[in-house]
Amino acid sequence: MNKDIVLSIDGLKTQFKVGKRIVHAVNDVSLSVKRGKTLGIVGESGCGKSVTAHSVVQLLPKTGNICKGTIKYSPEVGKEYVLSDYKRDSKEIRSIRGKHISMIFQDPLSSLDPVYTIGKQIEEILFEHEKISKNEARKRIIDLLAKLGIPKPEERYNHYPHQFSGGMKQRVMIAIAMVCNPKLLIADEPTTALDVTIQAQILSLMRDIQKDYGTSIILITHNMGIVAEACDEVAVMYMGRIVEYGPLEKVFNNPLHPYTSALLRSVPVLGIDKNTELRSIRGNTPDGSDVFQGCEFSPRCDQICQHCKDGHPPVRVVEEGHEVRCWLYEGSGGSDHK
């Protein structure tokens, strides 16, 4: 594994069993997260972005299973764990969860246990992973809370979640995620439930954390604006597959996949002409259990060609580090992924 890479996912396939149906939530996803960098995973609801992230730490619901692919995690150069080999809830994966790879969730309002003080909830993760005295833990937590911009941390330490506002709760969630100093932070739509001004605060907070601790971040979002603001690399997902993957500027300046360009076109911009209709992508997201012969996006695609119904398009590397999964680039001079 490349020494710059903290997490690499290769050919991940995650399935859900819903009654008798099998839903292929994630299909052949490969990506890597560089040390100290942010990877954004974008896509609409149900495209498998959260499932990909949850697969990393085996936090899938009981109906979900990783059935193919490897997930490798390297906390430092020369050390490597194969996370996909661990059993769900095994001791090994639990020692990674929270300590090495921690998560922030979408809804801070419901992600904190209402019956414990926030101090207790932050302590819990610290005591699980580190041998530390109660006083030391308290001191460290209060320092962290202060650093995360929570006023009067000594007092707030003994407060219950319902005594915090939404933005403050998300800061507490970040404190829980950061208290063990993880190498990788998975933020699953961390700002979706917050209002816009708070969104910006939380995003800049995450950037500061990254600068101070050198944490790598996977940022899951459906908001292109957040990606542009916060990410170094982007993976665009559609129906469980990565359709486009590359450095931020390349994907934004030169979107290759019709889905990516459609997504970018549908973002409203300040000063947009009030008379022009905002572009949207026609049709609906297909059901996760639908099986496609060809490209999953073809029924909604504007640039459909004769190959599109034939089979899944392979991944093409069109330029350095910029990959796309679309028939349009077949034979366009790029090279095969593998």
Interface residues toward other proteins, by CB under 8 A: 57, 59, 89, 94-99, 102-103, 105-107, 110-115, 117, 124-125, 128-129, 160, 162-163, 173, 176
Edge to edge, the sheet with strand 5-18 lists 21-34, 5-18, 64-73, 81-82
Complex with other proteins: residue 33 or 239, whichever CB lies closer: 33
Neighbours of 191 (CB within 10 A): 25
Residue type for position 318: V
Least distance from other proteins to the Cβ atom of residue 178, Å = 12
Task: Tell the smallest beta-carbon distance from residue 60 to other proteins (Å).
Answer: 10
Q: Bridge partners of 289?
A: none
Question: Least distance to other proteins from the beta carbon of 162, Å?
Answer: 5
**Which whole-number Å values give the CA distances from 261 to 71, 224, 324, in the listed order?**
29, 11, 12
Q: How far is the CB of 100 from other proteins (least distance, A)?
A: 9
CB of 94 to other proteins, least distance (A): 4
Dihedral pair phi/psi, residue 97, rounded to 5°: -60, 130
Cβ nearer to other proteins, comparing 69 with 161: 161
| Chain centre to alpha carbon of residue 323 | 18
Identity of the residue, 98 or 255, whose beta carbon is nearer to other proteins in the bound complex: 98
Is the separation of the CB atoms in 56 and 7 below 8 Å?
Answer: yes
- Three-state DSSP state, 282: coil
Alpha carbons 52 and 191: distance in angstroms, whole number: 19
Pick between residue 90 and residue 254 the one whose CB is nearest to other proteins. 90
Gap between the Cα atoms of 101 and 184, Å rounded: 5
The pair phi, psi for residue 66, each rounded to 5°, is: -80, 120
Measured between alpha carbons, how far is residue 202 from residues 148, 175, 193, 197, 321 in Å?
9, 12, 12, 9, 29
Token readout for 247 is 């450095």
Q: In terms of CB distance, is 165 or 266 closer to other proteins?
A: 165
Cβ proximity to other proteins, 103 vs 224, nearer residue:
103
Shortest separation between residue 22's beta carbon and other proteins, angstroms: 18
DSSP 157-177: TT--GGGS-HHHHHHHHHHHH
Do 236 and 245 form a contact (C-beta atoms < 8 A)?
Answer: yes
> Residue 160 or 252: which CB sits closer to other proteins?
160
Least gap, CB of 139 to other proteins (angstroms): 20
What CA–CA distance (Å, rounded) separates 207 from 177?
14
The minimum distance between CB 99 and other proteins, in angstroms, equals 6
- Select 137 or 256, whichever has its Cβ closest to other proteins: 137
